[in-house]
Amino acid sequence: MAAAAWLRHLGPDKRIAVFEATRIGACSSGHTGGMTLPETAAGDLPGLGDVLAGFSGILRKLQVECDLKLPGALEIGRHGILPNSPIHWNDSGAVGVTREIPGGTIDPGKMLSGLAQAAAKNGALIFENAPVDELHFDELPVLSIQGKSVRARGVLLATNAESLELSGLAGIAQPKFTLAVATEPLSSEQMSSLGLAEGKPFYTSDLPYLWGRVFDGNRVIFGSGLVHLEDWRELLTLNVSEGQPAELLAHLEKRINELHPALRGVRLIHRWGGPILIADKWEPVFRRHPEHNTVIVLGAYSGHGVALSVYLGAWAAEAMLGKRELPHWEGDASAAA
């Protein structure tokens, strides 16, 4: 969505179409935690630039209102807890803030619908229930969509954890399913004693991983757990109320209840999950398709894609317009091709 909106923003004469397999937001972006982070899951990468400044600027230029707040993000752990840590939890031992980094949160639903509205308002065509079944190459790339062929001068494949054969990421990146829960509204006393009154999102620096954020001022979303998959198609039938996802959710709920006395007995009113894609060394994939130079593949943010999908999506749009080169990141042998 960001790429489509940005393409029309920079090239209003270009004809842009987005083909979405089911509904916009069906996968990660509609199930995300919405924490905005300054780097990739592999840290800073050569030429990455200032993700949060770029991300905020793109949302501003596209007039996307999505409750973006950047108060900072808290890294929490067991060792090196800061003397002024606002967080004092118990997670198999005392846990507190070890570091604060730039970061914050957005409202994922508002961001996604805002980007879709910006794309549509700028003149991009959006087709839902339009799965791309195949990509082949004549002189130009040709997409096959429900028996119809669409020839395009340039293509961006941003299909994340699904359609890995299409994006050429099968066997290169690992699809996973991760889980989250949301509490009922908490009182301001509960929020203060949890150390979350300032609304800063948090994540653990050691394992087992736990992340969370404040939503709507007084509800807390927590997330953790990975379901390992043999094939991305398992994502299509996963159900959070049975099997391994249900077990992981039960484990997460118990962990949350025991984190702090203020969380004991708190009701969890939403439970869900969604896909993430993890590539080699946790680096995002951002490269040209090995078989066709005008096809760009972007994704595998390893659970760090909220700000990156917008920031790199806009970068991909600039590359499609010939205004910018793709980055050359380690482990991405074809990036230089």
The 8-class DSSP code of residue 84 comes to T
- Kindly state whether residue 40 participates in binding ligand FAD, applying the rule CB under 6 A: no
Q: For ligand FAD, which stretch binds (CB under 6 A), given 93-101, 242-250, 286-294, 295-303? A: 295-303
Query: Which is nearer to ligand FAD, 97 or 300 (by Cβ)?
Result: 300
- Kindly state whether residue 76 participates in binding ligand FAD, applying the rule CB under 6 A: no
Shortest Å distance, C-beta 189 to ligand FAD = 26
CA–CA separation, 15 and 26 (whole Å): 25
The sheet that has 285-289: what strands, in order across it?
155-157, 292-299, 285-289
What are the DSSP calls for 216-259, one per residue? TTTEEEEEEEEEE-SSGGGGGT--TTSHHHHHHHHHHHHHHHHH
Candidate residues 5, 6, 34, 174; the one interacting with ligand FAD per rule CB under 6 A = 34
Report the candidate in 301, 68, 302, 268 with the shortest Cα–Cα distance to residue 180: 268
Shortest Å distance, C-beta 133 to ligand FAD = 7
Size of the site for ligand FAD (CB under 6 A): 36
Query: Which is nearer to ligand FAD, 33 or 154 (by Cβ)?
Result: 33
Q: For ligand FAD, which stretch binds (CB under 6 A), given 31-39, 54-62, 146-154, 329-337? A: 31-39
Shortest Å distance, C-beta 157 to ligand FAD = 8
CA–CA separation, 256 and 244 (whole Å): 18
Shortest Å distance, C-beta 109 to ligand FAD = 12
Candidate residues 115, 262, 276, 317; the one interacting with ligand FAD per rule CB under 6 A = 276
CA–CA separation, 151 and 213 (whole Å): 43
Report the candidate in 157, 152, 149, 130 with the shortest Cα–Cα distance to residue 141: 152
Shortest Å distance, C-beta 163 to ligand FAD = 4
- Kindly state whether residue 202 participates in binding ligand FAD, applying the rule CB under 6 A: no
Q: Using CB under 6 A as the criterion, what x/- string covers residues 220-249 for binding ligand FAD?
A: ---x--------------------------
Query: Which is nearer to ligand FAD, 74 or 265 (by Cβ)?
Result: 74
Candidate residues 178, 183, 204, 224; the one interacting with ligand FAD per rule CB under 6 A = 178
Shortest Å distance, C-beta 132 to ligand FAD = 4
Residue 147 has a CB neighbour count (10 Å cut-off) of 6
CA–CA separation, 297 and 303 (whole Å): 17
- End-to-end CA distance of the chain, in Å? 26
313 residue type, one letter: G
- Kindly state whether residue 149 participates in binding ligand FAD, applying the rule CB under 6 A: no
- Non-local (6+) Cβ contacts of 9 within 8 A are 61, 62, 118, 122
Report the candidate in 172, 146, 267, 276 with the shortest Cα–Cα distance to residue 224: 276
- DSSP H or E run through 297: strand 292-299
The 8-class DSSP code of residue 284 comes to P
Q: Which residues bind ligand FAD (CB under 6 A)?
A: 19-22, 26-29, 31-35, 37, 131-132, 158-160, 162-163, 166, 178, 180, 223, 273-276, 299, 301, 303-306, 309
